[in-house]
Amino acid sequence: MVLGVGLAAAQAANDDREASEACAVCHDTVAAELEMTVHSPMRAGTPSCVTCHGDGTKHMDNDGDPSMINIPTGASGAATCLECHGQIQQMFAGRWAHGDAEVYCGSCHTIHSPHNAQPMQLVKAANDLCAQCHPSQAGSFEKPFGHDLDLGGVQCISCHDPHGGGGGSLKVDSSGEIVCYSCHAEKRGPFVFPHVNGVAGTCLSCHQPHGSVNPMALTRSRVDQLCLECHSVFDGSTLGSQPPSFHNLRSPRYQNCTTCHVAVHGSNTSPLLEK
């Protein structure tokens, strides 16, 4: 029984290769390029033309009518890719940012053509690809403060997993913490007196990672305005205590909280984060 199954599988694989050879008669340029990619239909264990495009008999009998062949695109095209690349779907329980948006894998990855200059058969450089659909975020990198994609090898995929789940597809490091700590390890802690620790806020509570017009890529132009978003009693959603009564926030003297509270990421010696 097992031998019979093996023979059937071998015959099916042989039939698929013969079908691919038939496709190559007309699509010789595509076939030649495909031979230089991981999708070469002539190698064992790789998909054939039939795998992605279906039976091409009617297509060939009707002078290559494109309506007679399956051309992967959109969500259905992604489903075709996942028949072989199902580990992506398994990793994220069937949900990932681009999958939810019904983005076709071929929008970013070349299927037939070899692009040796780019990893993972990307159509173009990763940052340029991301910018095509995310122009607002790409434009933010032109602001004076924040990450510079032209320096230090930082890329969009340094922080985001294009196949990742929700939450902006942000990666986590090996300890399960936000990806910021991969570069900014000194901010991780643990601290005896923590401040922003992933429970009461994250790095993104105060910083704009794509770029900001404010120093340190802060979300506010003034530090006191940022601190008061949490350290006030204006409504019931704040997390920290209100400033003590002697902090007259109308005075410039008290409008830069970090003059005294220098350990804003956490301290091992000062509960008031003063050192």
What pLDDT, in 10s, does the model give residues 17-58? 777 888 888 988 888 888 888 787 767 677 788 888 888 888
pTM, two decimals, is 0.75
Question: Tell me: the pLDDT tens digits for 100-133?
Answer: 667 888 888 888 877 656 778 888 888 999 999 8
CA-to-CA separations, 208 to 62, 213, 241, in angstroms, rounded: 56, 10, 24
Per-domain residue ranges of the chain: 74-169, 185-275
